[in-house]
Structures are given as structure tokens and as C-alpha cells.
Structure 1
Amino acid sequence: MPAAAFTLAVLAQLAMISASTPPLPAIAPVPTPAQRAWQDMEFTGFIHFGPNTFTDREWGHGDEPAAAFTPSALDARQWVRVMKAAGITGVVITAKHHDGFCNWPTAMSTHSVKSSPWKGGAGDVLRELSDACRAAGLKFGVYLSPWDRNNPAYGTGEAYNEYFRKQLREVLTNYGPVHEVWFDGACGEGPNGKKQVYDFPSFERTVRECQPNAVIFSDVGPDVRWVGNENGWAGETNWAMLKVQGHGRGADNPPSGKSLTEGDEDGEAWIPAECDVSIRPGWFYHAHEDDKVKTAAELFDLWERSVGHNANLHLNFPVDRRGLIHENDAAAVLGLRALIDATYGPGTDLARGRAVGVTNVRGDAPRSASEPLRDSAFSGSNAVDGDSATFWATDDAVRAANIEVELDPNAAWDRVVLAEPIAFGQRIRQFRISVPAGSGTSNNAREWRVLAEGTTVGHKRIVRVPVTKAARVRVEILDARACPALSAFEVHATAAGVGTVKPTAPASAK
């Protein structure tokens, strides 16, 4: 749901609440509208394309001639068709990698597409991709490496920082809305053997001035953080918060690997994680990797361990020497889409609209033990209505509560999906998922069988459980930073072709 629509839905939700039911208080930090919109995207594409594509390198040296850039059939519309069909919502392209070659006709350097044979030097990769994204309804973003192994001003201080700011302005003001700006932390030597001290505060100010709705990615955000690996997964514990005081980017005292992968419960800033990974071993195209593309099942595993671990998946496509997403890559990502749709698509949620029971509802008046919970704007049914703008919530003093959903006892399932209304902050510290071991009519824990235990939830948590049939399923929120709230409680069965993966184990089995 777009951020503006989400905000209106939340306001409408609050308008329905009677004066006797206080609105849900936020627990800081909370996301900005731009961060919420970014988290709702969930699955985005990454494009690595440039001279490395033609020199068979991963990191160019900066001395590659622009004449090496010779795509024979470049079609950014094909890239976008493949990504949109795969359910990808936006794309980031390497406008400039470490070799300094610019995929647009920059006025700041001759080391760009305008000096290449492609289209007689009149081509502009950013123009073609941004136009294709706009036509297809995908969001457009840019990766601009501060490291430049070609520019002679690199390593000289302010002269290079000003050069970089001017390039930022070019890519941020000539191609329409930009949803994400990706800053790589790499800082090596330039052609003069010197390293540059990057002026990141001024780079961020330039982004805010030119594209105020864009999120900025780096080791420490300020909007989106690197997850600490390039393997495509986030920790099972993953807070959207991060402690950034005293930390920098790249080699400048970045947060620990654990903090990047799992976040920090006591972090002062809301900086959710992005999980970048390539569909092949390399980030740029290499013909010898045509048979090393990740399978649809492998990609599905990563999707569940990123999107399903309160992060976004950022999947890289190494565009080939023709200027196309290779057929093998396209087949793999479309296979991923088929598995996602078959498992989580419309009509697959076995809990949707089913009867719900909870132990506490926000604002529910005192009642006798035999009296049912009254209807409320925060009722448990909100968690199973399929609407991310409605949610079940408890009273302020509550830190532990249960929610149960009745199911078809003959239907098999092996996934539980939970979500918090993150506009009000991230709350849940620990939860448990159980099904009746016997009659299931008692609150005696001995009559319930634990399927899985977990820690954080956030924007989305996918929990893998053994294949199960049960008349009901219970989520016990065991601990939370503030009164618990859930906007989604879903139950799904994985599609054929997913393969065998290890379920999320109960704590006692870990």
C-alpha cells in the first residue's frame, strides 16, 4: 500500500475509535513515510552493467577504454518486462561503478557512454531505463559509486567531492523521480594512488535537495542499511532499528556484522535492512556463469529469509553483452514468482476471515469471565482481514497476549506469516506458535504442541513450521517493547517445487 494511502487508512482507523478507546501509541523510533513506502516494496531489482560486462571483470581498473562498451541489442524495456513479471517493484542501476565509467552522458567526464560506439555516442542507459520504468509503473533508483578509479581528481579532497556532488545532481535531476540512492562503502585508490575522504553529509544533503522522497542506502543509512552480507538473507532476529552514533561507512568504523544483520533493539534510528544478492555468482555478466544461475527454489528460500525476516530483497541481474537479461536469469526469477504466487498469492491464506479468539483487546471494557470480548476497532479479526491498515492491539499495560485462529482441520500447511503495524514502531520481542496436542479446549500449555518460537516480527515475518493439520493455531506473544499489535496473521501451504527447507525450530531445539 502506498505511504499516502496507508496514512489515510490509519487516520480512518483512528476516526472509528470511540473516545473511550485511546489510539495506539507509537514507540520510537518509527519509520518516515518514505521508509514505509520502501518497506512495502519488499522485492526490488539491481542491474550491474558497464565496461566490466565486456572485459569479464568484477571491479574495473578505470583504464578500460570507453570503446569497450559495445552492447549489440540493449533493451531496457526487456529488463523491466522481466522484472515486472517477476513481481519486482523497482530497480536500481549502477549508474557509475568503481571504474568511473558513466552509463549516462555526463557533462563532468569523457569516460562515459558518449565516448563509446554504442548508438554513435548518443546513447543514455539511464534515460532508457528510467523511461521504461515509468511506462511500466516500476520505481527507478541509482547506484553511484564514490570510488572512481578513472578520475584524476580522486584523492585530492574537496575538488573530487564537488565533482561527485555535480554527478549526483545530474542523475537526480534529469531522469524523473528516484526512489533509492545506493552508496557503496568501497574506498580504494584512484589513478594517482591516493584515497579519497568522502563528504557523505554533503552527498546526503544533495540527495535530500534533489529527491526528497528518495531513501538513501549505506552501511549506516540514514534510511536503509546494508544487511551485512551479500548472500540475500537477514537474521531471524531483525530489528528495523540501528545504533548509528559513532559509526561510519565502509572502513570508517561501521556497525558490527551482528548489528547489520539483526539490527539493534535499542537503536536510536529506524534503518531497515536491504538484502542484496546476485542471481549468479558474479555481479557483472560472465558467460561461464550461464549455467550457475540460482534456481527458483534457491531464490524462494532467499525471498523467505529476507522479505520474511523484516527486510527487502534486492536481487541483482548481470545484464549480458547483448544488453539483455539472460534467458536463464529470466527463467529463474519467473520460476520464483510462480512459487511465491502459489504459496502466498490470492486465495492461499487459510486463516483469511476465519474465527479469531484473543486474550485482550485494546479499550475493551471490564467484563465478567463468561462475557465475550466486545467488538472493537482493534479486534482480533483485524489480523485476518487481509488489510494492512487494520490491526489487533492490546491495552497499554499488556506485554504478553495470545491470538488464536480456527482452521479447516483437514487442510495441511507449513507457513505462518505475521506482521506488525510498523507505522507505530516495532514491538514484539518473542513469540511462540502452537497447535492443540489434544482437544485444544484448555489453556493448559501441556495440551498444546509447540511448532516454532521466534523473536522479532516487524514488517513481515515468515515462520517455517512442519507440515501440520490442526483445527486451530495459536500465536503467543511472550514479550514486547510496548503493547502488542498485529496487522497480519496468515497460514499458508508451500507450493510443489519449493523443496525441503529447515523449519523454524522451537527454542528448546536450537
Structure 2
Amino acid sequence: MKKIITLCLLLWAAAGHAQTNAQLDPKILTTKAVMDQFMSLRFGMFIHWGPVSLRGTEIGWSRHVQVPVADYDTLYRAFNPAKFNADEWVKTASEAGMKYLTITAKHHDGFCLWPSAYTNYNIMATPFKKDVVGLLAKACKKYHIKFCIYYSVLDWHHPDYPIDNPNDTVNGIRKNAHMEKYVAYMKNQLKELIKNYDPYMLWFDGPWEKPWTPEMALDMYAYLKTQKKDIIINNRLGKAFSGTGADGTPHFLGDYDTPEQRIGDLNMHTPWETCMTICEQWAWKPNDKMKSLTTCIHTLAKVAGGNGNLLFNVGPRPDGLMEPEQVARLKEMGSWLRQYGTAIYNTHGGPWYPNQHFAATRSGNKIYVHVLEAPGQTLSLPALPDVKITKAYIMKGAAVAIQQSAQNITLTLPATLPDTNDTVIVLETDKPSISIAPIKI
């Protein structure tokens, strides 16, 4: 399904229908200073959660598929996550070293995790009757985590949204829907979310269906900026997302790119954020396969090495608890970050493009080489034009032997790497490391 969606997006963009920020008044765009702060955070928690956790199937997408619509749309009546504790969720994010948190306030299924005044299909109609969004926003303030909100453009449940079932082009269409009314509903809800919870960022999704037009997307971005000037908005209001060209030029509407379930390429011009699951499914799934600690840390290092952020997803259980194994894995990542976080936070990617053996980040007159998979007793890197390395050592450890030539830099690695997941070697340079243009290997 996702491959079909991607193909449709590419065809739409090729036909000249994609929107870009160039079509907006530049005065309303999010400032570089705000985006630089966002990109310095590097690591955030994504949470996909709702009544669908009662079935253990994918949020939104399993409606009409694994779960009949009559069942899916009434799951909220039994949704009572009595063990939900916003403080525990946010504390887990904090202990993982995450700096922001994004909650699916409304996914494609239309269910709202806050007491919206504009629909009864919300958390107050459940036996739980607690404002999940509000409780998370409050907990984020307590733990100094930036609070962000996911909101789906499409809504397969709402009577004024024309599509009920995206898999059925005949019977899955609502003939009496009014898209204009639905857009007004969106604006009302988004105003409500901004006013009541003051999110740092809005993470949109689901712009690919035909009822949502390029004009609506442009209008919505401009409208949101009247509600909060410096709110950060991802690139999924417009039809083309993950649309950064090889020249680094963004071909989308929004403040940053969002490659999904893959690591973005090194890009020093366009901000980007990889969204990825800690397991395989976005929403909770019984016995879902979880990524190893090595994979998790390699992913974070390669994302930072590409100059991006990592939005790492967990799907809590229907009782409101996060899986203990996932919590333990996140805390392991936090332990690594407490040791090596200087090489992740407040850095830039590069100068070398990441590969299977290493990634690199940089700050000031330092380059941090993340050794992910030792290729042998030495690690060979392309030389840095007009820049000399004055010192090399393992972060918080011993010196590293280094040889420099016009073509290569050769680092002699310890017989046993201090950290088998990611050993960080610090290279001190005689010039600011950010001055080095990206180097492909």
C-alpha cells in the first residue's frame, strides 16, 4: 500500500501539482533560528496509540482490513487504559535521552485523544475519560521535553471527509460529504490544540488522498502561522513529502523533511527527521519484534551523521503501559547517550557521509567518528581538504594513533573497542569542522 502511495505522490509532483514554501509569504515561514534549535535536539519519542491497541493491529490502516469497520469504530467504548501514566511515559523518554515527544492526537481513524469540543469521537467518550494530550503536555513541561502533536489530514471516520475506505473506490466513498466543512473542522481542532496545549511542533500526515488539495495545504500552513508564529510544521501538509532533491533543495511545503522507516542522506541545507519504529508496527502489536540495542544506536548515529533528527516510535499497550522490554531498550540508549551524548546533541552531520563502518558528527573544532563496525585494525577515511587533525583520541579514553596523507587519514583502532555498539573517536582540527564540505566515500 505504501509503495502505491509513494508512486502516486511522485506522479502528482511530476505533474506540477506539488506545493513548496516558495508559494508562501516568506515572512510567515519558521525562522532558521527556531529550526536550528529543533535540529540540535537530535532525538525524540514518537507515540502511536489509541483504541486500536485493543486489537493489536495497525492504527488507522487496519480499519476495514484486519478489523471490520463496525468493530473498529466502536473500540473506544471498551478503551480503558487504567495503567496509563503520563509521567512514566515522559520519564522514559527523558531517561532515553530524548528531547521531544510527539503523540498521535488524531490518526487516520479520526479518534481524538483529547476532549475536543468539535466531535464526540474522543477520549471523553471512553470509560477512561482522561485528557491524554493534556496530561502528556503537562508531564513534558515537568521533564523539560518539547511537546509535539501528530494530526492526520485525512479522517476516514468523519462524515464530512469524502473517503471512508481507501481500499474501496466504489462503496468506500461518502457521497454526502462536504470537504469544505471538514477543512473548517480541521482548523477548529488545530486552533483548539494550539490554544490548549501550546505544542512546539505539529506533525501532519495523510495528505495524499484526492479530496485534500494543494490550495488547502497552502491555506492551512498560513492559517496555523496566525495561531502561533513560530510553531514548527513538518512537510506532510502538501502532496509531496520526503521530497528533497539531490541538490539539497526542498521540493515540499513545510519546515523539514520526514523520511519514514529509512535514514535520510547527509544534507547540510534542508532539515530532516527520520521517523522509525522500535519494533515493526507503529501501534502496539503482541510479541512485536524489537530492534537490537546495536541497531538502535547505529540508527541514531547514522541519522545524526546525516545531519538529521531521529523520531523513534513506541506503541503502548491497551492498558496504558509501554512494553517493559521497549522501556529497557530505550533506557539502554539513554545510558549510551550519557556517555557519548556530546557526539550527538548540538552537532552537525559529516563531514563524511555515513556508511556501514562509521558515521561522523562535528562541532566546533572537533569531529566525532562513530565506529560502528570495525573493518579491521585500522579505519581509513578520505583526507580533509585544507584541514589538519591535531589530535585523535577515544572519547573519555586513550590517544589514537593517526597517519595523515594528501589522500587518506588512517586511524589505528584498539584491539578491543571500548564500546561494541559505537566507539566514538574524537578528532581535533586546526579549523572549524563545519567549514569542511561533505565528502562522499
- TM-score, normalised with respect to structure 2: 0.66
Measure the CA separation in 1 of the matches of 2:429 and 2:38. Answer: 28
Task: Rate the CA distance shift 1:344–1:159 in 2: closer, same or farther, 3 A.
Answer: closer
The superposition leaves residues 62-83 of structure 1 with CA deviations (integer Å, 9 ceiling, x where unpaired) of: 6521213221211111101101
The answer on 1:411 being equivalent to 2:398 is: yes
Q: Bigger radius of gyration, 1 or 2? A: 1
- The 3-state SS of whatever aligns with 2:294 is helix
SS in structure 1 of the partner of residue 234 of structure 2: strand
Unaligned 5+ runs, structure 2: 1-28, 64-68, 163-177, 344-362, 369-383, 413-419
Contact 2:153-2:205 at 8 Å conserved across structures? yes
Matches within 5 A, 1:59-208: 59-60=59-60, 61=63, 63=70, 64-65=73-74, 66-118=76-128, 121=129, 123-155=130-162, 156-175=178-197, 177-188=198-209, 195-197=211-213, 199-208=216-225
Give identity over the alignment, percent: 23
Q: How far did 1:336 drift?
A: 1.2
**Hey, what does 2:387 align to over in structure 1?**
402
Match for residue 285 of structure 1? 284
The alignment partner of 1:152 has SS state of coil
| 1:178 Cα deviation from its structure 2 partner | 1.4
- Shift of the 256–288 alpha-carbon distance from structure 1 to 2, 3 Å rule, reads closer
Q: Secondary structure, in 3 states, of the residue corresponding to 1:183?
A: strand
- The Cα of 1:243 is off from its aligned counterpart by 3.2
Deviation at 1:323, TM superposition (A): 0.9
Q: 2:299 aligned to 297, 302, 310, which one?
A: 302
Alignment match of 2:265 (pick from 262, 269, 272):
262
- After superposition, what is the alpha-carbon deviation per residue over 1:468-496, rounded to whole angstroms, capped at 9, x for unaligned? 99xx96879xxxxxxx853599xxxxxxx
Tell me, in whole angstroms, the C-alpha distance in 2 between the residues paired with 1:97 and 1:256: 18
CA contact (8 A) 1:227 1:275 kept: no
Counterpart in 2 of 1:32? 32
Specify whether residues 69 and 449 from structure 1 end up closer, same or farther in structure 2 by C-alpha distance, changes over 3 A only. Answer: same
Q: 1:134 aligns to what SS in structure 2?
A: helix
Query: Does 1:486 pair with 2:433?
Result: yes
2:233 aligned residue:
216
1:86–1:152 distance in 2 versus 1, CA, 3 Å:
same
Aligned to 1:445: 406
Structure 2 CA distance, aligned partners of 1:286 and 1:107? 31
Q: 2:47·2:314 contact (CA, 8 Å) conserved in 1? A: yes
Matched with 2:372 is none
SS in 1 for 2:115: coil
SS at match of 1:128: helix
- Structure-1 separation of matches of 2:102 and 2:424: 40
Listed one character per residue, the Cα deviations across residues 142-169 of structure 1 (whole Å, up to 9, x for unaligned) are 0000110111101332111111111111
Amino acid at match of 2:386: A
Q: Would you say how many aligned residue pairs link Structure 1 and Structure 2?
A: 338
2:387–2:429 CA contact under 8 A, matched in 1: yes
- Whole-angstrom CA distance in 1 between matches of 2:200 and 2:144: 12
Residue 243 of structure 1 corresponds to: 250
CA distance in 1: counterparts of 2:56 and 2:85, whole angstroms: 21
Q: Which residue of 1 aligns with 2:352?
A: none
Tell me by how many angstroms 1:114 deviates.
Answer: 1.4
CA distance in 2, matches of 1:332, 1:320: 16
Cα distance 1:305–1:53, how it changes in 2: closer, same or farther (>3 A)? same
Distance 1:412 1:282, change over 3 A: farther
Structure 1 stretch 67-76 or stretch 158-167: which is displaced more? 67-76
- 1:288 is paired with a residue whose SS is coil
The 2-side partners of 1:30 and 1:69 are apart by: 38
Structure 1 residues 412, 325: CA separation in 2 closer, same or farther (over 3 Å shift)? farther
> SS of the counterpart of 1:73?
coil
Q: Distance in 1 between matches of 2:114 and 2:223?
A: 19
How far 1:344 sits from its partner (Å)? 4.5
The one-letter code sitting in structure 2 at the alignment partner of 1:114 is M
Runs of at least 5 residues in structure 1 that lack an aligned partner in the other structure: 1-28, 189-193, 229-234, 347-380, 387-398, 415-434, 438-443, 453-463, 477-483, 490-505
The answer to whether the 8 Å contact 2:276/2:312 transfers is yes
> Secondary structure of 2:117's partner?
coil
